[in-house]
Homo-oligomer: A and B are copies of this chain.
Amino acid sequence: MAYTPGVVIVGAGFGGLQCAKKLAGEDCQVTVLDQHNYHLFTPLLYQVASSLLNPSDIAAPTRTILHGRGNVRFRLAKVIGVDFERREVQTEEAGRVPYDYLVIAAGSTTNYFGSPSIEAHANGLKDLSEALALRNHILRCLETAARLNPVESAPWLTFVVAGGGPTGVEYAGALSELTGQVLPREYPELMDRQPRIVLIEGSENLLPPFAPDLQRSARLELEQKGVQVRLGVLVKGYDGDSVQLANGEELPAKTLVWAAGVKPNSLAAAVAAPRSARGRIEVDGGLRIRGRTREFAIGDIAGFEQDGRDVPMLSAPAMQQGRLAAANILASISGKRLRRFHYRDKGTMATVGKGAAVAQVGKLHLTGFAGWLAWLAIHLYYIIGFRNRLLVLAGWAWNYFRSDRPVRIITRAGPDG
């Protein structure tokens, strides 16, 4: 009986899962390692943080996604290093895991750009626990404001969002819907007060990768929702009470949502591999870690240049790379030539709120309701799991018809949870 090579995939995100699915049924034994037991549909995290969706609407157990694929196994483990020479992955709780081929798909985390004050006091929006913590925080701010006088309550009703990319734009829009829908109805104490949502972007435009007409449309939609958009302004620090801007200005606010950037997972720095300027693991044309033959890196953690530019940290390139890495591993096993990765940009979209989004697919630019329908269709199509699709749809339909944000409960697991 021939030896069956073992493939270890680090990370069950968009890239890692595509790679695992592509290797299913092939002549190899695949082990997917992740520190969480679920795959997270990150593009909808902001809807958890704004009380529209339940965590399980956007998170499916990785075992559920992978089950029925006999040669693919899952193991809950946080990977802290890789020993290239011994071909072993080092994990925090499950010891060492040997491999014949390795795919590092560990993704990215919030980038605080080296500001300890912001890291300590701002709320990130990159993983499920950050989204839940942010939801709890916002709801607590509303409750605190409800028992204070107008002057005292102002900083509790001021929500600053740093970062004008899709996450910041989408969260600012969702937050304005949350406060706009819920406050007048359920917070009679706050009837005379106006919550303030400020979206701050360091460059001169929202949604930098989009075309200028879509950038303008998004800004207009946000401003119609009451969001104050401030461009060309940088956030310098935050002490939990007041946001310090680079121009010397101070914004008293109990909330700073940090959506200003992401950086590669810390595993990138823990492996002995060359890294790009942005800290991503450099890979060759076939997605192998530069200088290695059996180790691949894909997605946000991998640095791949195309047309002189870094492939963006998005789900689409990660999924495309996951499929190619799988194909190249199979090619390696059978001694064939590896294929070169080429990113096909199929378009980008961002929603600004109920019934409004911007979408850019090649030369096609959609805004407003048309953009929103396109956004809805694509997100529902891609979200993992049939049940989730149905429940997410039901939740959205409910929100759409009732203008409600029903998941407004402040809760957390216990101290051991």
Which A residues lie at the B interface, using CB under 8 A? Answer: 36-38, 54-57, 59-61, 63-64, 67, 70, 73, 75-77, 93-94, 123, 128-130, 132-133, 136-137, 139-140, 143-144, 146-147, 185-189, 385, 387-388, 390-391, 394, 398, 404, 406-417
CA distance A188 to B93 in the complex (A): 20
A61-B408, A186-B64, A411-B38 known; A137+B417 contact, CB < 8 A: yes
A372 shortest CB reach to chain B, Å:
22
Contact B417 A133 (CB under 8 A): yes
State the oligomeric state as a number of copies: 2
B residues within 8 A CB of A54?
54-57
Write 9 A-B pairs (CB below 8 A) sorted by A numbering: A60-B409, A63-B186, A67-B186, A75-B146, A77-B147, A133-B413, A387-B404, A391-B394, A394-B394
B residues within 8 A CB of A75?
143, 146-147
B residues within 8 A CB of A413?
129, 132-133, 136, 411-413
Contact B412 A67 (CB under 8 A): no
CA distance A387 to B136 in the complex (A): 21
Contact B139 A417 (CB under 8 A): no
A182 shortest CB reach to chain B, Å:
8
Q: Which residue of B lies closest to A35 (CB)?
A: B410
Contact B189 A73 (CB under 8 A): yes
B residues within 8 A CB of A143?
37, 75-76
A223 shortest CB reach to chain B, Å:
29
A143-B76, A147-B94, A186-B67 known; A59+B411 contact, CB < 8 A: yes
CA distance A243 to B351 in the complex (A): 52
A137-B416, A416-B137 known; A409+B38 contact, CB < 8 A: yes
Q: Which residue of B lies closest to A124 (CB)?
A: B414
A37-B409, A64-B186, A406-B387 known; A417+B147 contact, CB < 8 A: no
CA distance A409 to B39 in the complex (A): 9
The 4 closest A-B pairs by CB, nearest first: A133-B417, A133-B414, A412-B413, A76-B143
B residues within 8 A CB of A130?
414
Q: Which residue of B lies closest to A76 (CB)?
A: B143
Q: Which residue of B lies closest to A417 (CB)?
A: B133
Contact B94 A61 (CB under 8 A): no
B residues within 8 A CB of A416?
123, 133, 137
B residues within 8 A CB of A185?
67
B residues within 8 A CB of A146?
75-76
B residues within 8 A CB of A57?
54
Other-chain residue from B37, B55, B128, B410 in contact with A37 (beta carbon distance below 8 A) = B410
Q: Which residue of B lies closest to A56 (CB)?
A: B407
CA distance A330 to B232 in the complex (A): 60
B residues within 8 A CB of A133?
413-417
A143-B76, A387-B406 known; A411+B132 contact, CB < 8 A: yes
Contact B414 A37 (CB under 8 A): no
B residues within 8 A CB of A38?
408-411
Contact A408 B132 (CB under 8 A): no
Contact A417 B55 (CB under 8 A): no
CA distance A130 to B415 in the complex (A): 9
A45 shortest CB reach to chain B, Å:
12
Most buried by B among A37, A70, A385: A37
Q: Which residue of B lies closest to A398 (CB)?
A: B387
CA distance A413 to B188 in the complex (A): 29
Contact B61 A412 (CB under 8 A): no
A221 shortest CB reach to chain B, Å:
27
Q: Which residue of B lies closest to A57 (CB)?
A: B54
